[in-house]
Homo-oligomer: A and B are copies of this chain.
Amino acid sequence: MFSNKIKTLPEVTADRIIEYIIENRLEPDDRIPNETELGQILSVGRSTVREAVRLLVSRNVLVIRRGAGTYVAQNTGIPEDPLGLVFSTDRYKLAKDLLEMRIILEPEIASMAANRADERNIAEIWKYCRMTEEYIARDEDHMPPDVEFHKAIAKSTGNNVVEKIIPIIDTSVAVFVNITYGRLKDETITTHRLIAEAIERHDATAAKHAMMMHMLYNKYRIEEIIEKHSSNMTQFNTVI
């Protein structure tokens, strides 16, 4: 019932390359030995090493830079879609579920961030706050710096699990349900500023409330969109 599967030689080799990275305290962007050297270190053939490296690339542990070698990846070990959300076919339900999760998480995290943020964290939060406003002013898609803003807050908590999970959820919003978020530009500017100010003055309650307001604006916006969508569906069905 709770058993594990048997691993193939390339899979075992991939595990041993991970051990090598940990034991040698390699960091993101550090280069790892080439195929021949790894084969010697781990006593396996080059084709096994090559396959193991491919598996680790697909798990975002390694990145291959053509002509330069193989390196430890940024966000080591966190793949592109770690929650398998590509398999969620109902985009409206996914938007609601992601937001419900954000409503639980992000106000508490903003509160922790206000308690723990240092000068560097606060500078980073303001940097992405401003960048988001610049993108909005230029009428560019502001989701990438917006996600960075929320990541900078998560990073301020000093909690590594928080720091890993927030980008997964917020990037999923950007990638899988981007459409629904586009229209709250003024609100985004106002509440982002309120959040950044509260964290800067280490006011945990104000940070939590500002983040909650930001999330609830999004919630009612999404509910509006879903309602419109389902009444269109009904009309459509009625016409046919």
Contacts and interface: CB of A to CB of B under 8 A. Distances in A.
A83 B82 contact: yes
Nearest to A89: B22
A44 interface: no
A169 B105 CA distance: 14
A42 B72 CA distance: 32
A63 B76 CA distance: 24
Interface string A160-174: 111011001100000
Contact of A169 (B60, B89, B98, B161): B161
Interface in A59-103: 59-61, 63, 75-79, 81-89, 93-94, 97-98, 100-101
Nearest to A106: B104
Contacts of A164: 83-85
A98 B165 CA distance: 11
A3 B160 CA distance: 24
B83 A165 contact: yes
Given A2-B144, A58-B59, A82-B79, A162 B97 contact: yes
5 contacts: A14-B58, A51-B54, A78-B82, A79-B82, A83-B165
